[in-house]
Structure 1
Amino acid sequence: MSQRKMLQFTTGALFLLLPWFGQLVIGEISEDFSQCLHFFYNKTPPNGISAAGYQPICQRYKNQYHFASLYHRQHRTPLYSAYILSPAEGKRPKAIWKYEPQLAFSRASPEMKPFHIPVDQNVIESQAVLQDYSNSTFTRGHLNPSMHQKTKEDRQATFTLTNIVPQRAGSNSGPWNRLENEVLKNFKTFCNGLMYVITGAMPYKSGPHQINNRVSVPEYMWSAYCCPSYNASLPESVRPFFPTYAAVGRNDRNSGEEIVPVNVKENASVRGYDVRRMSLETLEGILAQRLAMPISLFHGQCQ
């Protein structure tokens, strides 16, 4: 697809994808993911997403890259985080929340840093900060979850607000958490090689919903994985889940049911935060409609 065609969006798409003003900065924050392409299948980031308004981030901590995120400065949330799944070792680390210095200062350190009090005004203007979540009814929802990362440093690196979206507690600790565990189980049981995962957020069709008039709230969460090398003798019930698998979860229990139906038998405390499992092609079709972009998450559909 030509660059010209990729930029021909509908008015609704432009409303969702408002560009930020200014130039892309240098360092780990750049115009592409060239420093961390290994987190994507075939070293190829999702195709079909305009660069307008989005900032690629190679998430760097303790002098290592741990995953990649596509961040929107104006929305102050990532569209997605991409990572290689590796089962966690040890207990969940203490949550020391971090920010991305280069979003605030182009010549700053390329490594994520813990928040300091008081928070620099340039940091506040460039990205989400802890105060945005402290007086809200939302949890800090990981796109790359700590449980999907192996080492202590890998897991600590997930606690950056550039990997976080406002997520309802009923989703975060309910059906979405069950999905994360299900993906982990599929990897351990049936995946023989690397599993590439991309998890993201889907905005409201009606326009931006925000917390603190700053941070965009997603109507849905979505996730997909690619496991190109898997057990040859998969049970019949598991074959639809390989080499790719996808899901969409509700982050608003009052949303319509055209994307994710509500399970009326679900426990009342999490009812309405349901997750719908689906094929990769179905997810890409939903994203294409909602974002008005012909998105391809895995190069060659993970074949």
Structure 2
Amino acid sequence: MLLFPGTDLTPMLPSHLRAHNFFTRDVTEAGILEDGNIVKPERYKAIRQTYEDQRRFVTLYDTENKIPVFSAYKYRGQLEERNTNNMWDGKYHKQAIDDDYKNNSRGYNRGHLFPNSYALDLKEKNSTFTLTNIVPQAESFNNGSWRKMETCTKCILEKYCINNNDAKEAFLVTGAQPSINNTT
């Protein structure tokens, strides 16, 4: 259950992720992970995403580019609650700040790696609104093809991802890659 050998993430994970061997040793991202180890631990940090004292999901965060590399979470369907849609500060130092997204003349907005529409309930939805789960996305992409992909994926999750207890269940990792040309 180690995502990064030598860094036991098991205690960081929410209990519903700990119990299912969600992470394995062979998760690899070019230049970031090698044989399951963080290549540059001073740059990439594993963050336990906690909201109201409960672990919700895990993020691997790039402190240099101030964006998440990926967020890992469990899909369990959703209850009929609406989120507050407010950003909250996960209080992780070396993270992006709200001002990084304000007055943006380039047309970027906040793209969730763990989409709030995939969260089970209001508290889990609110937990996705931390800047350590957000990547800058071109507005046209975030509101266009990315939104369509999230919607299509959710339909598949709803229809086909049913566990032995007849409950919705899927384990997902959503990632981002920083642009070479569009960093500020």
Normalised to the residue count of structure 1, the TM-score between the two structures is: 0.48
Q: 1:57 to 1:78 in 2, by over 3 A?
A: same
Per-residue deviation, residues 45-91 of structure 1 (Å, max 9, x unmatched): 56231521110011001111111110011110000011111223224
Are residue 135 (structure 1) and residue 108 (structure 2) matched?
no
Specify the code of the residue in structure 2 equivalent to 1:200: G
Listed one character per residue, the Cα deviations across residues 110-131 of structure 1 (whole Å, up to 9, x for unaligned) are xxxxxxxxxxxxxxxx211111
**Aligned partners of 1:142, 1:179: CA distance in 2, in Å?**
13
> Whole-Å Cα distance in 1 between the matches of residues 122 and 128 of structure 2?
10
Gap runs ≥5 in structure 2: 1-6, 164-168
Give 1:192's aligned residue: 162
CA distance in 1 between counterparts of 2:27 and 2:120 reads 28
The separation in 1 between residues aligned to 2:181 and 2:45, in whole angstroms, is 19
Give the AA of the match of 1:163.
N
SS in 2 for 1:66: strand
Partner of 1:184, secondary structure, is helix
Q: Distance in 1 between matches of 2:155 and 2:96?
A: 32
Match among 209, 216, 223 for residue 182 of structure 2: 209
Greater Rg, structure 1 or structure 2?
A: 1
- d(CA) in 2 for partners of 1:188, 1:209: 35
Identical residues among aligned pairs (%): 29
Please give the TM-score of this superposition, normalised by the length of structure 2. 0.77
SS at match of 1:185: helix
Deviations 1:84-119 (A, max 9, x none): 112232243112212222x33xxxxxxxxxxxxxxx
Are 1:180 and 2:139 an aligned pair?
no
Runs (4+) off by over 3 Å: 37-41
User: Separation in 1 of the partners of 2:76 and 2:47?
Assistant: 20
- Relative distance call for 1:32 and 1:130 in structure 2 (3 A) is farther
Q: 1:39 offset after TM fit, Å?
A: 3.4
Residue 47 of structure 1 aligns with which residue? 27
CA 99–33 in structure 1, closer or farther in 2 if over 3 Å, else same? farther
Count of residue pairs the alignment pairs up: 158
Question: In proportion to residue count, which structure has more helix?
Answer: 1
**Does structure 2 retain, via aligned residues, the 8 Å contact 1:61–1:157?**
yes
Instruction: Give me the whole-angstrom Cα distance separating, in 2, the residues matched to 1:208 and 1:33.
Output: 33
